[in-house]
Amino acid sequence: MSGALLVAGTTSDAGKSLVTAGICRWLARRGVKVAPFKAQNMSNNSVVTPEGGEIGRAQALQAAACGLEPSVRFNPVLLKPGSDRTSQVVVLGQARGEVSALSYRDRKPALLSIVLDTLAGLRSEFDAVICEGAGSPAEINLRGTDIANMGLATAAGLPVIVVGDIDRGGVFAALYGTLALLSPEDQRLISGFVVNKFRGDPALLAPGLTAIERLTGRPVLGTIPWLPGLRLDGEDSLSYATGFGPAAPPTGSEYLRVAVARLPRISNSTDLDALAAEPGVQVVFADHPAALAGADLVVLPGSKSTVDDLAWLRATGLADAVVAHGARGGAVLGICGGFQMLGNRIRDDVESGQGEVPGLGLLPVTVTFRAQKELGRPSGSYGGVPVSGYEIHHGRVVSRADGLDPLFTTAQGGGEGARRGTVFGTHWHGAFESDGFRRAFLTDVAAISGRHGFTVAESTDYSALRLSALDTLGDAVEQFLDTAALERLLDHGPSNGLPILSPAADAAAWHPDGRTS
């Protein structure tokens, strides 16, 4: 087997990230040397690779499905939104300035060259490369400069399968419409469909599958059922729209409630996934003060726009509620941008350009933003318990009160983060994936909040849970998709003689730039 294919979706959150991970897992378990690839990702959920670069968390998950360490090659372009109109551009793991939606268009040709070179390098090294698209391939307003969907597929000659989310409704219209809106050149690469998140009797779905195959001339490669309980590195805010789900029953007699501020520019919300996987720990999002009532732990998560999100905390009243919770002796944790918000002052001439602004004053530290981003994969200990994580931030602690305790002891013997009483702060993302630290920290929070009936589950192994979930995805691909058809696409490329649907079939002027196919 040698080749590559692109997994596209009718919408964001259609499931293409997990379908890609499932195909990667299925191939890897068969002994195929496979790698993931996403040319351009837009996400504030990211991770640091062993090379010291930054990529989307979804591609790190897909790498794990392949049995690989994450690499900047798996996600050569990452956009990190800082506002509704601007994003930071990360190229091969390193930040390369800010762009607006319009100015980004001018950078696309150079980025496409980087993307294609990177993909070619992976294809020469691996037996198969499973590429993931971005958003929808039918965003025809963006097609002229696309580097992630059909622009990538046409340039690299990739067969494309389109994933539709039946749970949100309208899947047949979405599949048909996605195909019909593409140019003839692009339509020739669409080689099949996958229906995702199906619940119900398959017999009721069958007539629709037959009809969509007849109408489009493309096969439905399978229907993946709803897979409950998967909490795998959501790529964007839509992945967390409904929160973290109900907690598993507690090991002891009491639950522990964690309230997380739903910041407008939240980043690395995946930090909370490991907490939510712990039996008896209920993790909920909070966007108003009343949502903090009864919380045993209040978390200020990471942020791509620390100063702007701090202003949002104040505007919603959450800032006062967090300060009051900490003043009453309640446990408060700030992670990265959230840690910076807990300090006395923030000097930001880089991200927001607002200069010096007051923090919440719960930790006696001062933070200054620097243009060079701090990227790292640190390790250390918490009360003697091993912990590791990763750092992605512009803000640095430049001063701290004498005698302020660090949260972690680093592997080099220094200190990281801060703790004063029941208020904690750290720049380390991913720390809760360290099982020992997670148990020790939750035990401390339970003691602070008086939840003496809460007991951590000593058997919870977060890495094993993630691997099991990836195996579930691999099982779903093997059981529910036409794997022989996937192999043919990887071996031979796009199918030949596929019909072209209207309006592209009879409207040469369909493209805004007037090009024809």
What structural domains does the chain harbor? 3-231+466-510 (3.40.50.300), 252-456 (3.40.50.880)
Tokens of residue 65, six digits: 């499905």
User: Cα 245 to chain center, whole Å?
Assistant: 17
Looking at residue 83, its pLDDT comes to 79
Looking at residue 242, its pLDDT comes to 52
Residue among 105, 101, 161 at smallest CA distance from 131: 161
Which parts of the chain register pLDDT below 70?
1-2, 233-243, 504-517
Cβ–Cβ under 8 Å, residues 43 and 235:
yes
Instruction: Tell me the C-alpha distance between 45 and 55, whole Å.
Output: 9
| Model pTM above 0.85 | yes
Instruction: Tell me the C-alpha distance between 204 and 200, whole Å.
Output: 8
Numbers of helices and strands, H then E, in the chain: 14, 28
Range list of H helices, 281-336: 306-316, 318-327
Instruction: Tell me the C-alpha distance between 420 and 255, whole Å.
Output: 25
Burial environment of residue 313 by CB neighbours within 10 A (0 to 12, 13 to 18, 19 or more)? buried
Cβ–Cβ under 8 Å, residues 256 and 449:
yes
User: Cα 325 to chain center, whole Å?
Assistant: 30
CA atoms within 13 A on the CB side of 186: 26
Residues carrying an active site annotation:
336, 429
Strand (E) positions, 10-76?
A: 34-37, 40-42, 46-48, 54-56
Looking at residue 187, its pLDDT comes to 96
Tokens of residue 84, six digits: 């509704």
Looking at residue 512, its pLDDT comes to 42
Instruction: Tell me the C-alpha distance between 195 and 208, whole Å.
Output: 11
Looking at residue 229, its pLDDT comes to 74
The percent helix, strand, coil of the chain (3-state, each to 5) is 35, 30, 35
Looking at residue 514, its pLDDT comes to 43
- DSSP for 369-388, please give it: EEEEEEEE--EEEETTEEEE
Instruction: Tell me the C-alpha distance between 495 and 156, whole Å.
Output: 15
Q: Residue 417: helix, strand or coil by DSSP?
A: coil
Range list of H helices, 67-196: 101-125, 150-156, 171-180, 184-187
| Model pLDDT for residues 49-77, shown as the tens digit of each residue | 999 999 999 999 999 999 999 999 999 99
Cβ–Cβ under 8 Å, residues 367 and 352:
no
Q: What is the DSSP letter of 469?
A: H
Helix (H) or strand (E) holding 443: helix 435-449
Looking at residue 244, its pLDDT comes to 80
What is the identity of the amino acid at 287? D
